[in-house]
Structure 1
Amino acid sequence: MVSAAIDGSARVHLGHSDLVVRPIGLGCMGMSQFYGDADDRESVGTIREAIDLGVDFLDTSDVYGAADIGTADNVRGFGHNERLIGTAIKGRRDRVVLATKFGAKVNAGGDGVTFDGRPEYIRAACEASLGRLGTDVIDLYYCHRLDPGVPIEDTVGAMAELVTAGKVRALGLSEVGSDLIRRAHAVHPITALQSEYSLWERRVEEGITATCRELGITLVPFSPLSRSALTGAIKPGDTFAANDFRATNPRFSADNLATNLEPVEALAELAAEKGCRPGQLALAWLLAQPLDVVPIPGTKRVEYVRENLAATSVAISADETAYLSSMFAPGRIVGDRYTAAHQRAVAQ
């Protein structure tokens, strides 16, 4: 079987928009929360070097940096990640497609997150994000999580008004199922769906990927390396700091982690045969899927940006793709992907 690599200089057209990006973007969330301590100066430097290396798709959210449920993370403040990116892209704005999100906000008690999809909130959230990012337009604006008290038609209708006003170029959704995607798309074309997708997490294949293909929606996988589990850097018995999201994540509990890392050994063995890193092969598997996919692996360090970008040069055959799919067959990974409190935010 002939192997094929993705051309790293190639471009992916994002759904129903005129936006084009390289095959791998950069998720910036970890620069503000969830994965231990981060240094703002290093993070700004990483973003700038990533752009110089060719990264042209940055992903953030207004809530990144704020207090969240299920973690003892240090609170950097609502909007921290957007302000960080605004600093990093100053003088470089024309070199990146900028994606951010609205909808999640800290609750009145300051100890959790609530969701707001009201039209008046969306307009205010957009203006605030534009200010923090230091730009006059958001390229891709996602509804981060749906507000169960607001019909999706009302939320997307308000988002569409932002497109008409020239404040947003294209619309996206995050963590929603096929029915909600269709309802949203009937109001205004949806350009991208951001959902967790990796060898470790394949539930979007249960109808959602088919819906995206049918409607011409680009899938933007977050956590494409399964929070570093697919890189080979995590070993059975590893523990995580209190300000690390994985310390309370069910898939990283001691018993579950030992089981979940077993197929990673097969990934690492195949990667070694191919002369690449396990994480690069995991990204190549994603890029080989039969739909437009632009993964956004997150990192705080430029050496990992380089490593992730090099995945586009990893040739992977159909047989190798199928082999990895079988090794990480749905149901193979045990434990919920979120705590119960986090899972309630996912609308499928």
Structure 2
Amino acid sequence: MGSNKQVATRPLGKNGPQVPRIGLGLMVLSGMYSTPAPTADRLAFLDEAYKQGARFWDTADEYNDSEDLLGKWFAANPEKRQDIFLATKFAITTVFEDNKVVSHGVDSTPEYCRKAIEESLKRLGVDFVDLYYIHRLDKVTPIEKTMEAMVELKNAGKIKRVGMSECSADSLRRAYAVHPITAVQIEYSPFCRDIESPKIKLLETARELGVAVVCYSPLGNGILTGTIRSKEDFSKPGDLRFILPQLKEENLAHNVAVVDRLAEMAEKKKATPAQLVLAWLLSQGDDVFPIPGTTKAHRLQENLGSLTVPVSSEDDKAIRELGDNIKGGRFQEATGHAFADTPPL
């Protein structure tokens, strides 16, 4: 097992706290891609993450038993709570049964926000979370109303900072006018660069306001690691990735070939494809924080190794060109809640 390590940090947003450049996404640990491992194994993985210095933890109330699992870890390690920068989220009310979506909902009303934080704090067994995200916008509740509830929670000491996910540039600006936003969480990788689009303007707006960009699915739900070669690689019971456009049968072989070219670039740097992709994201600016998810200690170590992989402007151009060749759009577009707007107040 590793020892206590220091991972390079940067401020999360304007005047924000110093957090590790690479966060730990905890969705997969609670079985969104497969049946979760036994609780004891998963708690041991969190011990290892702590030792390796991966202490920016990202979860959500909808990630199966994730908050309960963290609650067990904090109960066993109360003195370590202060070392973890803990983010969770509310607003997605989707229910899965037997790998099928039974109901898909989004609720960003102030009432649901107040109820959700109480339940999250109880499951986590903590007094506050460091960052609380509005996971999705329901497109019915004006963002100002949701923000009023978030400010209330902050004033009550239940949350330290406010984040948003999958919002439009306009929603971010309106939210920020009520209270500063620390981070916006969005899908961002060489295969998904919509945040940069001059039409969407989210990256531009975040930078103008001094809001950090936290990248979910930085490894393209696994395809950018080079470990996905065929459908068999994501067909385990409980794996929800079969719904992703880039992994559909008609796109998969083409996309795997693109990743192979990325792997050749990585090999020249004595790096893995995953390390090159994470290094590429880090090279986009000190305000960009990838949060890859994993369930394996050696993958965690590999991800943290990306901090020392150099990315030149030529590399950046070549990686972007590979990304332009990808087939299949974003799954989030199909849900109707990508880069969501909210009605005026």
- Report the TM-score when normalising by structure 1: 0.88
Alignment of structure 1 residues 1-348 onto 2, 5 Å: 9-16=7-14, 18-39=16-37, 40-65=39-64, 80-89=65-74, 90-91=77-78, 92-106=80-94, 111-206=102-197, 207-236=201-230, 238=232, 240-290=235-285, 292-329=287-324, 332-338=325-331, 343-348=335-340
Gaps of 5+ in 1: 1-7, 66-79
Residue 18 of structure 1: how far off its partner (Å): 3.8
Question: In the alignment, residue 180 of structure 1 is paired with which amino acid?
Answer: S
Distance 2:254 2:27 in 1: 27
- CA distance, structure 2, for counterparts of residue 150 and residue 96 of structure 1: 32
Aligned partner of 1:11: which letter?
A: T
Aligned CA RMSD, in angstroms, stands at: 2.1
Distance 2:209 2:332 in 1: 31
> Residues 248 and 339 of structure 1 are in contact (CA less than 8 Å); yes or no, is this contact kept in structure 2?
no
**Once the 2 structures are TM-superposed, how far is the Cα of residue 218 of structure 1 from its aligned partner?**
0.4
CA separation of 1:291/1:177 partners in 2, compared to 1, >3 Å: closer, same or farther? farther
Greater mean alpha carbon deviation, residues 90-99 or residues 278-287: 90-99
Shift of 1:153: 0.8
Unaligned runs of 5+ in 2: 1-5, 341-345
Taking every aligned residue pair, what percent have the same amino acid on both sides? 40
Q: In the alignment, is the contact (CA less than 8 A) between 2:25 and 2:58 conserved in 1?
A: yes
Cα distance in 1, alignment partners of residues 323 and 54 from structure 2: 29
Q: Deviations over 1:51-107 (max 9, x none)?
A: 111011000001111xxxxxxxxxxxxxx1101112223322111100000111246
After superposing on structure 2, the runs of 4+ consecutive aligned residues of structure 1 that deviate more than 3 Å are: 106-110, 236-239
Measured after TM superposition, the shift of residue 236 of structure 1 is 4.3
- Against the structure 1 CA distance between its residues 280 and 13, is the aligned structure 2 distance closer, same or farther, given a 3 Å change threshold? same
SS of match in other structure, 1:124: helix
- C-alpha distance 316-126 of structure 1, shift in aligned 2 (>3 A): same
How many matched pairs? 325
Q: Amino acid of the residue matched to residue 128 of structure 1? A: E
1:277-330 deviation line (CA, Å, top 9, x unaligned): 11000000000003511110001111111110111011222221222112212x
Q: Matches of 1:130 and 1:268 in 2, distance apart?
A: 41
Secondary structure at the aligned position of 1:150 is classed as: coil
Change (3 A) 1:229 1:181: same
For 1:128 and 1:121, locate their aligned partners in 2 and report how far apart those are by CA, in whole Å.
11
Asked whether the equivalents of residues 143 and 174 of structure 1 are also in contact (C-alpha less than 8 Å), the reply is: yes
Per-residue CA deviation, residues 89-143 of structure 1 (Å, 9 max, x unaligned), is 3322111100000111246998123122221221121111111111111100000
Preserved contact between residue 174 and residue 195 of structure 1 (Cα < 8 Å):
yes
Q: Judge which range, 211-220 or 239-248, deviates more.
A: 239-248
Distance 1:123 1:16, change over 3 A: farther
1:62 partner letter: D
How far off is 1:261 after superposition?
2.0
What amino acid maps onto 1:103 in structure 2? A
308-317 vs 239-248, which moves further: 239-248
Moved more, 134-143 or 205-214: 205-214
